[in-house]
Structure 1
Amino acid sequence: MIIGQYIPGHSWLHTLDARAKTLFILAFIPIVFLADNLWTNVFLLAFTLFAVRLSQLSWRYLWNGLKMILFLILFTLLLQLFFNREGTELISFGPFAIYSEGVRMGLIVSLRFFYLVMLTTLVTLTTTPMELTDSIEAGLRPLERFRVPAHEIALMLSISLRFLPTLADETDRIMKAQQARGVDLKSGPIMDRLKAVVPLMIPLFVSAFKRAEDLATAMEARGYRGGEGRTRLREMTWHRRDTALLLIFVIVTLILIGLRGIG
């Protein structure tokens, strides 16, 4: 699992300010819904693949790390295929039928999910957890006048993101240990497989709480007392390339609006 990990590098995406990347991805989420026809999706797909190219990350690494997300994308596609009954009927078998609108919406929703997952993953892979924390805190800082603990919220989000790969690795180790003891997690009736998950979840929760306790102890031992009065080892600086990223977002939005009128 690569979501939450950081890969050191010297690509253009690596050199961008974390605040610019955070603003871009937050603003990108709503404009994904502008992709509702062939041309808008072709453009966004090309843009996403170009962003992967700019990151200079291995395609094989991304593919191996995101294969588990494909299940959710395929599940979304199947939901639209079998439950959307608008448009012309294409295929029918028994009580099920596939309609033209179900195929169209299934592809559109699945591609939107792909764009969001891929670009969000690129942000985490090219940004250190500390930079992400600082960027989130900078965005929440105006809310401090309303007594919103910006630093603590940013810290919690950063820690949660950081421990996603760790918990995934822990889950894999527990599964292998259970399988070595004769637990079958991959075959048999669905109810038996669900029952077999219980021995997997209990040690995973115990391990997660143990890691949280160790982390809290380590932070206290190092004198952590919250964000008030704390300084940073590295100050964030805004460069022209960061402004260029936001200009790129504006251009992408305008192109999508223009392509919506085609077809």
Structure 2
Amino acid sequence: MMQKMIFGRYLPGNSFTHRLDPRSKLVFVFLFIVAVFLANNTVTYAILLVFTLLVIAVSKIRLPFLLGGLKPILFLVVFTLFMHLFLTREGAVLVEWKFIKIYEEGLRQGIYISLRFLILVLMTTVLTLTTSPISITDGVETLLNPLKAVKLPVHELAMMMSIALRFIPTLMDETDKILKAQLARGSDISSGTIQQRIKAVIPLLVPLFVSAFKRAEDLAVAMEVRGYRGGEGRTRFRKLHWQAGDTAVMIVFALLCAVLVYFRA
């Protein structure tokens, strides 16, 4: 499962979304996260879901591939649904069986919050799949450039964000390798009591942390050997260009917000 984890990975392509300026994609996703909270009824959530599916289609990413790579996160979506379903006790009782009661408000809130979570995860994953880590770094650094006036280390922050994003799939692959090695040695973390499972996880975490620190040290040495001293005096090989498509994306987002506001309850 961890090998199929796609969050943080870059999927090369030539779709409309791939060709957009990373700055427009970052601004769009950030504003989209805010706009999601405008939805408060069935119509607005349906609009957001349809819009998200259209973005996935324009990006030329297969939905089964996307959902298959997000299985660990989809578990949290389902967990959120059940938490609201059984813990929210408002409105009329829809289902009553022994000690289990499902209320109308619990069902509604569970669906809405789960959809909100799912839409946010899908949209941010589309961003990482269609934007290389280097482009994300350049986009973040450019957008944060005004903060240099208050002595904020913008270049270093952007670099750290990019490295952290890049290390997500790497650590997932490393975890999968260690897990398979432990299973080959007879370790079992899927059965037994909670205490036994916790003890079985320790042999997995220790080599994972050792590997992560070793990779971080190798990266630091490599950057130092190549003369990396921060962003001062550095030039860019890749120039960012804001094009008509990026402006069109901002216009479409403004129209989306107007539609959401119009259909709000």
List aligned pairs for 1:16-95, cutoff 5 A.
16-95=20-99
What is the distance in 1 between the residues matched to 2:53 and 2:219? 37
What is the distance in 1 between the residues matched to 2:38 and 2:161? 28
1:150 aligns with 2:179: no
1:13 aligns with 2:17: yes
What is the distance in 1 between the residues matched to 2:200 and 2:253? 47
Number of the residue aligned with 2:112: 108
What is the distance in 2 between the residues matched to 1:228 and 1:94? 67
What is the distance in 2 between the residues matched to 1:103 and 1:4? 32
Number of the residue aligned with 1:210: 214
SS state at 1:98 partner: strand
Deviation of the 1:92 alpha carbon: 2.9
SS state at 2:83 partner: helix
Deviation of the 1:189 alpha carbon: 2.4
Letter in 2 for 1:105: Q
Deviation of the 1:117 alpha carbon: 0.5
Which ranges of structure 2 fall in alignment gaps of 5 or more residues? none
Farther-moved stretch of structure 1 (150-159 vs 133-142) = 133-142
What is the distance in 1 between the residues matched to 2:176 and 2:124? 23
Q: Deviations over 1:86-107 (max 9, x none)?
A: 1111223444421110100000
Q: Deviations over 1:114-135 (max 9, x none)?
A: 1110010011111111110011
Structure 1's consecutive aligned runs of 4 or more residues displaced over 4 angstroms after TM superposition are: none
What is the distance in 2 between the residues matched to 1:210 and 1:128? 24
Aligned match of 1:161 in 158, 165, 169? Answer: 165
- Equivalences, count: 261
Letter in 1 for 2:14: H
Deviation of the 1:61 alpha carbon: 2.1
What is the distance in 2 between the residues matched to 1:141 and 1:180? 50
Number of the residue aligned with 2:244: 240
Farther-moved stretch of structure 1 (148-157 vs 31-40) = 31-40
TM-score by length of 2: 0.96
Q: Deviations over 1:149-187 (max 9, x none)?
A: 000000000000001000001111111111111111112
Deviation of the 1:4 alpha carbon: 1.0
Number of the residue aligned with 1:220: 224
What is the distance in 1 between the residues matched to 2:157 and 2:96? 50
1:179 aligns with 2:183: yes
Farther-moved stretch of structure 1 (188-197 vs 7-16) = 188-197
Number of the residue aligned with 1:192: 196
What is the distance in 2 between the residues matched to 1:192 and 1:90? 39
Aligned match of 1:136 in 113, 135, 140? Answer: 140
Number of the residue aligned with 2:255: 251
Deviation of the 1:246 alpha carbon: 0.6
What is the distance in 2 between the residues matched to 1:151 and 1:139? 11
Deviation of the 1:188 alpha carbon: 2.3
Q: Aligned-pair RMSD on alpha carbons?
A: 1.1
Letter in 1 for 2:9: Q
TM-score by length of 1: 0.96
